[in-house]
Structure 1
Amino acid sequence: MYNMMNKKMSVLLIVVMAIMLGLTGCSSNKNGTGKIKLAYVAWDSEIASTNVVKEVLESKLNYRVEMIQVDAGPMYVGVADGAADAMVAAWLPSTHGEIYYEPNKDKLEDLGANLKGTKLGLVVPAYMDIKSIEDLKKEDVGKLVDYTITGIEPGAGIMTQAELAVKEYDLNKWNVLASSSAAMVKVLQDAYAKQEPIIITGWTPHWMFADMDLKYLEDPKKAFGESEEIHTLVRLGLKEDHPKAYRFLDQFEWTPADMESVMGDITEGMPEEEAAKKWVAANEAKVNKWIAGIE
């Protein structure tokens, strides 16, 4: 009876050891570091940055990465409630500040700016003979574009600011038309090709400024705020759960020119993932700074 129990225990021990070895094998392979979920909005700028972050996490730090495309509001809530681990798309302090960041700031961690020198406002082709948002009060200007400002996704921070601008400047006849980032750019390209008037909600960095001769309308009332920064936000506890990913995200910082390079490749037809891989391969020194100190 004793020998039989010993045999059973030996068999059980072998099974347990095999399971443990199997788990160890999984945790030590390329995908074993863990999984990171990145929330983002489908803006050209955020598509570029999130894909670059994904590429570094996967190719340099051996994480598995899931990109979760959402609208701006759910992006903040997702990081705040832990449904997503991080985002690199927080436009602060004005665009997302009051609406999305402030209600969630105590439930997430702000790692600071990953890109400085952004700008938002109303944008027109350079061939249009207007300089300021104040000029939209002129009836002949309004009639040129049917009193319409072509915008992006409803709920985006820049849309809220555009609606505020309409009120601030008493543009009672004007309408901020919601669409999508891609649809807005398509309407702009079509008008630009025909040298027709158009007014859009625009932001920098964006590849369209390199592709077309555009200008911001002056905003003397500061309805769109001052220059902003794009911040990296992570869920509480990420530092403890994934210290390598946390350190990289904390050290991630690039320039508008970097971002526009990736956006340009995507615009010209290169798949998002390939554009990110190309940029990471071509900027080894900068990427090494991002992952410095990670063992």
Structure 2
Amino acid sequence: MLLVLAACGNDSSSGDGDGSDKEDKTIEIGLNNWAENVAVSNMWKIILEDEGYSVKLNMTEKGPLYQALESDDLDLALEVWLPHTDEAFYEDYKEDVDFHKDQPWFNGTTLGLAVPSYVDVNSIEELNDNKDLFEDGKIYGIDPGSSLMGLTDEALDEYGLDYTTASSSGPAMTTQLGESIRKEEPILVTLWKPHWVFAEYELKFLEDPKNVYGDEENIIWMSRQGFTDDFPEVTEYINTWEMDDQQLGSLMNMVKEADEPAEGAQKWVDENEELINEWLGK
């Protein structure tokens, strides 16, 4: 899916930033096709539109997303994993993009290689000896160029794995995962938590003794430079935002079960008015 950028540039910098004429201030949110990113981006679109803002969601991949924030073609993006996963992007763009590192909205992430719990493999170090279990050494991955796939390439080198990666997308990976589990077949995937699959399937991360995938991290948000001046009220909302595993999991499940992401996000917003009012300072 392509990132749609307005030829005339972003109009969100117009106005005085005091919350007046909100309907003339379009906020453009960039997102990846990852389950939690789709869920929270649709959630914030609904919340901000309820507050009088106009919001557009622009689907893209990681590299173009950072480039669009740097060039002011996007206003914000809601998912940056630090200090490890997105470190390379952070180092490349920290002078040109505002990273809101002091306001994580989710604490304690996990990512790595995962298998169904019935698979008798527990560590990445055991993979070469069990290559025949996984389609002769196939790892189902996500978007090419994503941080997780970059770390998986590092894992192949660090552990000397005789495996290949099949990059596709988050939804394609979870579809293949579900099909394999229904057949009770072994499958090896790149995965991260929080993710709705952990509520639906019995899965386990493989031990990573070399710590290639790093320790637990936090998720923060980022914005184009000048966004906080143009939208101080929205900045305060998002800085107050925080979700735990149960809250995010329930949102992701509603989005997954709905015909459209916006439909599931709207249902969750309707059922969590009290929590959202806390974020909005009401």
Normalised by the length of structure 1, the TM-score is 0.85
Q: What percent identity do the matched residue pairs reach?
A: 34
**Aligned runs of 1:113-262 on 2, under 5 Å?**
113-138=104-129, 141-145=130-134, 146-171=136-161, 173-262=162-251
1:117-175: per-residue Cα shift (whole Å, max 9, x none)?
2110100000000110000121xx1011111111011001100111111111111x211
Matched, 1:288 2:277: yes
Among 24, 40, 53, which residue is 1:63 paired with? 53
Which secondary structure does the structure 1 equivalent of 2:186 belong to?
coil
Q: Tell me, in whole angstroms, the C-alpha distance in 2 between the residues paired with 1:157 and 1:37.
A: 23
Tell me which structure has the larger Cα radius of gyration: 1
Q: Which runs of 5+ in 2 are unaligned?
A: 1-18
Equivalent residue letter for 2:114:
V
Shift of 1:266: 2.2
From the superposition, tell whether residues 73 and 30 of structure 1 become closer, same or farther in structure 2 (CA, over 3 Å).
closer
Matched, 1:46 2:37: yes
Which secondary structure does the structure 2 equivalent of 1:31 belong to?
helix
Which 4+ residue blocks in structure 1 deviate beyond 3 angstroms? 27-30
CA contact (8 A) 1:88 1:114 kept: no
Normalised by the length of structure 2, the TM-score is 0.89
1:36-64: per-residue Cα shift (whole Å, max 9, x none)?
010110101100011111111111x2100
**Aligned runs of 1:25-44 on 2, under 5 Å?**
31-32=23-24, 34-44=25-35
Which secondary structure does the structure 1 equivalent of 2:160 belong to?
coil
Q: Tell me, in whole angstroms, the C-alpha distance in 2 between the residues paired with 1:85 and 1:76.
A: 11
Shift of 1:29: 6.7
Give the structure 2 partner of residue 5 of structure 1.
none
Q: Tell me, in whole angstroms, the C-alpha distance in 2 between the residues paired with 1:291 and 1:109.
A: 21
Q: Tell me, in whole angstroms, the C-alpha distance in 1 between the residues paired with 2:236 and 2:75.
A: 13
RMSD of aligned alpha carbons: 1.7
Give the structure 2 partner of residue 83 of structure 1.
73
CA contact (8 A) 1:117 1:256 kept: no
1:225-275: per-residue Cα shift (whole Å, max 9, x none)?
011111111111112212222221222221222221121122223421122
Aligned residues: 262
Equivalent residue letter for 1:137:
N
Q: Which runs of 5+ in 1 are unaligned?
A: 1-26
Q: Tell me, in whole angstroms, the C-alpha distance in 2 between the residues paired with 1:275 and 1:267.
A: 7
Shift of 1:287: 1.1
User: 78-87 vs 128-137, which deviates more?
Assistant: 78-87
Q: Tell me, in whole angstroms, the C-alpha distance in 1 between the residues paired with 2:151 and 2:57.
A: 27
Q: Tell me, in whole angstroms, the C-alpha distance in 1 between the residues paired with 2:141 and 2:20.
A: 47
